[in-house]
Structure 1
Amino acid sequence: MLFSRLHSLFSLFLIALITPVLIACSSDKFLSDGEYLLDKVELRSDRKDVNPSLLMQYVRQKGNSRWFSLFKIPLGTYAMAGKDTTKWINRTLRRMGEEPVRYDTLQARLSCEDLTVAMQNMGYMNASVGLDRKVKGKRLTAIYRLHPGEPYIIDHFNYDIEDSVVAKVLSPHLRTDTERPRRFTVTSLDDERKRITHILNDSGFYRFHKDFMYYTADSTRGRQHVSVTLHLTKYVETSGAGPALHPRYIISHVRFLPGDSTGFHLRKSVLEDNTLIEKGKYFSATDLQRTYNNFSRLGAVRYTSINFREPPRYDSLVIGKSFAYRTSSTHYLDADIQVYNNKPNTISFQPEGTNTAGDLGAAAVLSYQNRNLFRGSEHLSVELRAAFEAIKGLEGYKNSDYEEYSLQASLQFPRFLAPFVSRDFKRRSNAISEVSLGWNLQNRPEFHRRIFSSAWKYHWTNPVHHLTYDFELLDLSYIYMPWISGTFKRDYLDNATTRNAILRYNYQDLFILRTGFGLHYNSSSHAFRARVELAGNLLDGLGNLFDFKKNGQGKRTLFNIAYAQYAKFDFSYTQILHFDDRNALALHGGIGIAFPYGNSTVLPFEKRYFSGGANSVRGWSVRELGPGKFRGVDGRIDFINQTGDMKLDLNAEYRTHLFWKLDGAAFVDAGNIWTLRSYAEQPGGQFRFKDFYKQMAVAYGLGLRLNFDYFILRFDGGMKAVNPAYADRNDHYALWHPNLKRDFTFHFAVGLPF
């Protein structure tokens, strides 16, 4: 019944998609005589090193938008409306749709001019643009032909600095001919002005800006060869004033002002440690920005305002960290730092509904946060969670309920806490130190489990390079199994015919002491994550030194409890290719590998990989896929055994904006998991280089997103295309033999998959 309804909905979706496409062909009714619908715009360049797609932004008039760069659904929706705008349905269809783009000769001529200027700014000073028009009925294709010509090259780069003080400051930073920009482009020349402005703004020249610089160029040496001179003029305070030396400012006083009547919630030492603007130092724009960044990291601070005042000049002896001189032209700045407090305490309650394999339940989370525990913007977070679930179809057990209680507490310090670290390093570092404790109690009909965890971590960012770092110095987990049902032991752990090494290992008491480091880069078009995690090496070293006892399986123990030892590496990369402001292609690849060694032959369950789900191969549900061609126990899902030591994901997703807050997606996913060792419980699951590509699962599907900017609700429908765990040929190549009941999987998630 469910799959027949899904099939009907899918059919209706296809009809809704195709109908506006067909109706879009009738949009000519909105065109008057002599008007043409701008069907398509093309840019063609006669130089291979000029990418036409980068110049599309300078075309003033483009054709109607297309879903997935193919279907003019918005235009078709508009065309479905009648001409009578007094009718509600016609007004609604016009608002939802997109009015036909009528070709405009004036806009086309201005586009040619803009394209010419754009190429000249790229160094092609003799560039020109031609325009061809192809008309078919009432539709017109505009083809802009780009003729860049030869680029101009800078032979010599010179500086002409009128201000002697500025010249002395810039002397170590001026580029030689070998370091100069090679191409004569507006971008490269403007970048040099920005670079010099940045140096001077960090050297006390508070009022300096790049408009004090201009260029002259001499092209007499050759047709495409230029000699460039950067001129830096003297300071002019007002239009009627004469030129003078650029004023160089020294910080004379730094004052902290409360932003509201409640006064300061932070200690004075905390305010000073987060302020890089110091008395006796030259003004620095970088120190100003870092001060803003430091205060923005403090949870106790709502926002900060920093204002500079120039007091009257006076003759005095100026003593700084690296200078001392007397002058009557010294300039000073007083800095007023106004700090506005944030609400220190918050309490929240959040109910949840749960559904684990059809077993319904409920959960509740009570959270408390204190953003200024010791008046140093320390962030204390305490979370208490309780969950209950009624388990169905479980025979042979006295109880059929699942209960879970957990208490998680973390304390973050907005500074780098470590011994033997200088105060200056702590002030300039934007690291956050975190200590956390957790206790988790799980009571299931089959077993009771207790997990204690504690960690000491560091987090810091490099906004300039879009980098984020995470360093887990020590992370300790203690897994304790106080009770295991006799039925569960008999059927799964002790029975010789069903004994499972992976299962047995994960239902024993265990220590996990690990260290991890993660790196994350994210920009508008690229993102990558890398992480390495090592566990058990410290305990193993101590075990060899102090001769820890071994258990019956020959594993070293601490307090009679075995400890895990493994290494884990993960890497993922995402690239976004933007075709226009409505369409983009997202490509993603991820690989992970973890192997137990030394004191372990099996990875802890929490560290094993799984495949399938909303962020993996979307033709399968979570933990339904793999490892390799393993089909589960008797063809059924096996959450314990459908895990592995290695994972590979490859994804391609075409994203398009539909209308309002709705976005669409079409995707193809591929991937699987494998084990590194051969386990009897997972036949066909071991990774073998000569076979792994044959065991890649492939899925395809469509998605719908509700994009509210600050969060995204995602609905994806995936279909199996190639199933490595097949029962017959039809099951193997599901793409050619689709079966909605067998192959379709629906996913609901928050956020994009990658």
Structure 2
Amino acid sequence: MRRSFLYMTLLTMILALASCSATKFVPDGSYLLDEVAIKTDNKKIKASDLNVYIRQKTNAKWFSLIKTQLYLYDLSGRDSTRWYNKFLRKIGDKPVIYSEADAERSQEELGKVMQNLGYMRASVNRITDVKKKKLKLTYQIVSGKPYIIRHLNYDVSDNKIATFMQKDSANSLLSEGMLLNINLLDAERQRITNNLGEKGYYKFNKDFITYTADTVRNTYLVDLTLHLLPYRTHSDDAPKEHQQYKINKVSFITDYDVLQSSALSSIEINDSLHYKGYPIYYKDKLYLRPKVMTDNLRIFPGDLYNEREVQRTYTYFGRLSALKYTNIRFFETQVADSSSLNCYVMLTKSRQQSVSFEVEGTNSAGDLGAAASVSFQHRNLFHGSETFMVKFRGAYEAISGLQGYNSDNYTEFGVETSINFPSFLFPFLSSNFKDQIRATTEFGLQYNSQLRPEFSRKVASASWSYKWSNDRRVQHRFDLLDVSFLYMPWISDTFKQKYIDNDQSYILEYNYKDRLIVRMGYTYNYNSAGGALTNNTIAKNSYSIRAGIESAGNLLYGISHLFSLSKNNDGEYAILNIPYAQYLKGDFDYAKSIVIDERNSLAFHIGGGIAFPYGNAKIVPFEKQYFSGGANSVRGWSVRELGPGSFPGDGNFLNQSGDIKFDASIEYRSKLFWILQGASFIDAGNIWTIRNYANQPGGQFRFDKFYKQIAFAYGVGLRFDLDYLVFRIDGGMKALNPVYSSGRDRYPILHPDFGRDFTFHLAVGYPF
């Protein structure tokens, strides 16, 4: 504790000295822009929404508190040729010198923003407060009274477009009584344009829609009129009505090179064929089956041009792993006195085959080892964009501290293979249903063999699943069938005598017997950001929801009852002398990110789950149970070290698992410098068992006790953002330890012991 206090005191002194010299590199006659604030007299206008229009920001603050990078820069000497001065200036930020020109531009921008919101007579004043060489800048906004739309009129001479707009009037963003919000007016122009783009108006754009606003004298009321301008190819042409376009012909070009000219005459074509009336042009050999191309097409001859169907075609072809790029081009043509479009779907082939290698080091409770894997992937196995993958993995680990066993080594070998079809493969389903779902089908096989000093364990599994997403924010997964067979060919006598044959642990006994798991499940994922990431960082407030449910053993249990099968000595039904698991499991997870500014954000997370064994089982298989602690849970504890309930653990990780889980976290994230990001966090959570097991005392969930058994932890971390991945280092400290019901040990936050309460984590990716 004394040493920690000394370090904190030293750090405080350094920051204080740096703060005193914050203006060290500010020239005479200039000022350090120390603070920028926006104040408004209108509660409906949030200052945080206006920050984006400020041209000049202050030096960045770590965690919105300390201008650490400015202080690091100011710690450098004036001799810029010395290496340590160069280093400090490189990782630091030079002082932001107040600019009168930037302040004037910001003032003008804020005025325009207020006018766009309907406050036409708003005023923006700049207030500066200077102390020595530091300047505080405040933008004081007086919004005034807003302008209100009294009457809303439409000047649309094109009868067909007027009819479309009338039918769609319920979705209009404009209404009488609303503020004269220029942003909403522009959004309405774009909405009408998008609507007409789905009804054949290929050449329509929002510039054909204008407004006039007449103010009523001595009032803040406005009469607004929306005008539809006639179509003109050139400004001096005679006006005419906007034309609807039909699709005339659709052709495929399968060997388009995006680096070459986009002119059709420059594309190399050696051969062609016709499939269901669609010309398909290719260079040497057709690498995609024609049916795959037409099945993913949403643009059909004879239909009106529809921008939404064009985008759906892009989406569908983007799902095909055999393709790298898709480009859809339209050319005007005249057919029987009507305007038509010839459509060309231009496809660029991706790399069809690849091989990858992975090498990793492992550390299991201090036991070091290594693992390696090699995988092969083919992205167009049957010329239908089917993705085939096969992966081999091997691992070795030297195990220490074991006594009474013949070997000290752990070896593992595994192989997995899968094939993904870009279509919904299931009999007796209509084509319309398959077109609506647009699911991909995946079949998989896995085999894993583990040889430990204590036992030999083999797992074989097969799966059949579907994935689909009709919205970029939503993803669905349905596991129609997942069969796993756990086989224990050998268990050492020492392990049997110590853990299994002494009747002390039903959990151990259950999980070290041959077992069959036949399950099905559904998972729903929603992300409001829709993948809108900037350098792994969400650029705006967003949230995500993940929910899943799965069940196992119900079909086998029904068959067992139907045929009156006999039970084994443990009271379980068995198929081919292999007992099967039966349970129901549900999970829910919610995460939200709130962006404070371009460098700081706040993230929340709460999640939970329950797995309930019934029927043919009293225990949920270990692979389906929950554990707590670790880099993605309560970070004051190591992985599988917390719970269940107040159970302190007995050195066997199998006993530190449960049927119920709760996790919650709040994390403040701040960009530091270079690729470094910092975080401070508070975690809470634990696991519990549904039943009371003798080898897990205090682990059962009880309504009158569970809230007292929720563990708390706090800590800080570093993230190395490499764009393609985030490498994370977290240090967590216990704050409340549920193992103890009272006393000093229950509240380590008040009586911290670094050696006892600190846990270090290395991980890839954010915790949530």
* TM-score normalised by structure 1 residue count: 0.92
Supply the distance in 1 between the matched residues of 2:78 and 2:140 (Cα, whole angstroms).
38
Supply the distance in 1 between the matched residues of 2:593 and 2:713 (Cα, whole angstroms).
20
Supply the distance in 2 between the matched residues of 1:565 and 1:17 (Cα, whole angstroms).
58
Could you tell me how far 1:98 is from its partner in structure 2?
1.4
- Residue in structure 1 matching 2:468, options 454, 457, 460: 460
Contact 2:173 2:184 in 1 (8 A): no
SS at match of 2:216: strand
* Other-structure match for 2:515: 510
* Other-structure match for 1:369: 377
Contact 1:157 1:176 in 2 (8 A): no
Could you tell me how far 1:278 is from its partner in structure 2?
1.2
Supply the distance in 2 between the matched residues of 1:159 and 1:425 (Cα, whole angstroms).
41
- Residue in structure 1 matching 2:396, options 368, 385, 388: 388
Unmatched tracts of structure 2, length 5 or more:
257-282, 530-537
SS at match of 1:508: coil
Q: How has the CA–CA distance of structure 1 residues 41 and 621 changed in structure 2, closer, same or farther, with 3 Å as cutoff?
A: same
* Other-structure match for 1:130: 125
SS at match of 2:562: helix
1:229 matched to 2:228? The reply is no
Could you tell me how far 1:348 is from its partner in structure 2?
2.2
Contact 2:459 2:486 in 1 (8 A): yes
Contact 2:174 2:188 in 1 (8 A): no
Could you tell me how far 1:710 is from its partner in structure 2?
1.2
Could you tell me how far 1:18 is from its partner in structure 2?
6.2
- Residue in structure 2 matching 1:476, options 468, 473, 483: 483
* Other-structure match for 1:110: 105
Supply the distance in 1 between the matched residues of 2:429 and 2:468 (Cα, whole angstroms).
16
Supply the distance in 2 between the matched residues of 1:15 and 1:273 (Cα, whole angstroms).
69
* Other-structure match for 2:261: none
1:434 matched to 2:442? The reply is yes
User: Structure 2 matches for 1:348-427, cutoff 5 A?
Assistant: 348-427=356-435
Contact 1:64 1:101 in 2 (8 A): yes
Q: How has the CA–CA distance of structure 1 residues 183 and 551 changed in structure 2, closer, same or farther, with 3 Å as cutoff?
A: farther
Contact 1:64 1:98 in 2 (8 A): yes
Q: Which amino acid aligns with 1:488?
A: F
Contact 1:17 1:73 in 2 (8 A): no
Supply the distance in 1 between the matched residues of 2:171 and 2:666 (Cα, whole angstroms).
46
* Other-structure match for 2:723: 709
* Other-structure match for 1:520: 525
Could you tell me how far 1:367 is from its partner in structure 2?
0.9
Contact 2:666 2:681 in 1 (8 A): yes
* Other-structure match for 2:254: 258
Could you tell me how far 1:108 is from its partner in structure 2?
2.5
Q: How has the CA–CA distance of structure 1 residues 153 and 688 changed in structure 2, closer, same or farther, with 3 Å as cutoff?
A: farther
1:731 matched to 2:745? The reply is yes
SS at match of 1:29: coil
Contact 2:369 2:397 in 1 (8 A): yes
1:167 matched to 2:181? The reply is no
1:341 matched to 2:349? The reply is yes
Moved more, 393-402 or 235-244: 393-402
Q: How has the CA–CA distance of structure 1 residues 351 and 81 changed in structure 2, closer, same or farther, with 3 Å as cutoff?
A: closer
Q: How has the CA–CA distance of structure 1 residues 124 and 263 changed in structure 2, closer, same or farther, with 3 Å as cutoff?
A: farther
Supply the distance in 2 between the matched residues of 1:558 and 1:180 (Cα, whole angstroms).
67
Supply the distance in 1 between the matched residues of 2:173 and 2:161 (Cα, whole angstroms).
23
User: Structure 2 matches for 1:55-454, cutoff 5 A?
Assistant: 55-175=50-170, 180=175, 182-220=178-216, 223-259=219-255, 261-311=283-333, 313-314=334-335, 316=336, 328=337, 330-427=338-435, 429-454=437-462
Q: How has the CA–CA distance of structure 1 residues 133 and 102 changed in structure 2, closer, same or farther, with 3 Å as cutoff?
A: same
Contact 2:254 2:347 in 1 (8 A): yes
SS at match of 1:737: coil
Q: How has the CA–CA distance of structure 1 residues 660 and 176 changed in structure 2, closer, same or farther, with 3 Å as cutoff?
A: closer
1:650 matched to 2:664? The reply is yes
Could you tell me how far 1:179 is from its partner in structure 2?
7.7
- Residue in structure 2 matching 1:661, options 651, 675, 690: 675
Could you tell me how far 1:221 is from its partner in structure 2?
9.1
1:574 matched to 2:591? The reply is yes
Q: How has the CA–CA distance of structure 1 residues 519 and 104 changed in structure 2, closer, same or farther, with 3 Å as cutoff?
A: same
Structure 1, residues 469-507: CA drift from partner, whole Å, max 9, x if none?
A: 1111121112122222222222211114xx201111111
Aligned length: 729
Structure 1, residues 138-168: CA drift from partner, whole Å, max 9, x if none?
A: 2222222222234444444333222223223
Could you tell me how far 1:53 is from its partner in structure 2?
0.8
Q: Which amino acid aligns with 1:533?
A: E
CA RMSD of aligned residues (A): 2.5
Q: Which amino acid aligns with 1:626?
A: G
Contact 2:448 2:460 in 1 (8 A): yes
SS at match of 2:654: coil
Structure 1, residues 697-728: CA drift from partner, whole Å, max 9, x if none?
A: 11111111111111111111111121112498
Supply the distance in 1 between the matched residues of 2:9 and 2:564 (Cα, whole angstroms).
69
Supply the distance in 2 between the matched residues of 1:97 and 1:127 (Cα, whole angstroms).
39
Structure 1, residues 654-684: CA drift from partner, whole Å, max 9, x if none?
A: 1111111111111111111111221111111
Moved more, 79-88 or 695-704: 79-88
- Report the identity percentage: 48
Contact 1:380 1:412 in 2 (8 A): yes
Could you tell me how far 1:602 is from its partner in structure 2?
1.1
Could you tell me how far 1:256 is from its partner in structure 2?
1.1
Supply the distance in 2 between the matched residues of 1:716 and 1:730 (Cα, whole angstroms).
25
Could you tell me how far 1:271 is from its partner in structure 2?
0.9
Could you tell me how far 1:556 is from its partner in structure 2?
2.3
Q: How has the CA–CA distance of structure 1 residues 91 and 168 changed in structure 2, closer, same or farther, with 3 Å as cutoff?
A: same
- Residue in structure 1 matching 2:575, options 558, 561, 564: 558
Contact 1:310 1:334 in 2 (8 A): yes
Q: How has the CA–CA distance of structure 1 residues 448 and 87 changed in structure 2, closer, same or farther, with 3 Å as cutoff?
A: closer
SS at match of 2:661: strand
Moved more, 417-426 or 401-410: 417-426
* Other-structure match for 1:321: none
* Other-structure match for 1:532: 549
Contact 2:172 2:188 in 1 (8 A): no
Supply the distance in 2 between the matched residues of 1:608 and 1:401 (Cα, whole angstroms).
27
Structure 1, residues 400-421: CA drift from partner, whole Å, max 9, x if none?
A: 3222221211111111222333
* TM-score normalised by structure 2 residue count: 0.90
Unmatched tracts of structure 1, length 5 or more:
317-327
* Other-structure match for 1:743: 757
SS at match of 2:49: helix
Supply the distance in 2 between the matched residues of 1:56 and 1:40 (Cα, whole angstroms).
13
Supply the distance in 2 between the matched residues of 1:25 and 1:420 (Cα, whole angstroms).
77
Contact 1:20 1:77 in 2 (8 A): no
* Other-structure match for 1:324: none
Q: Which amino acid aligns with 1:651?
A: S
Moved more, 574-583 or 260-269: 260-269
Supply the distance in 2 between the matched residues of 1:245 and 1:535 (Cα, whole angstroms).
63
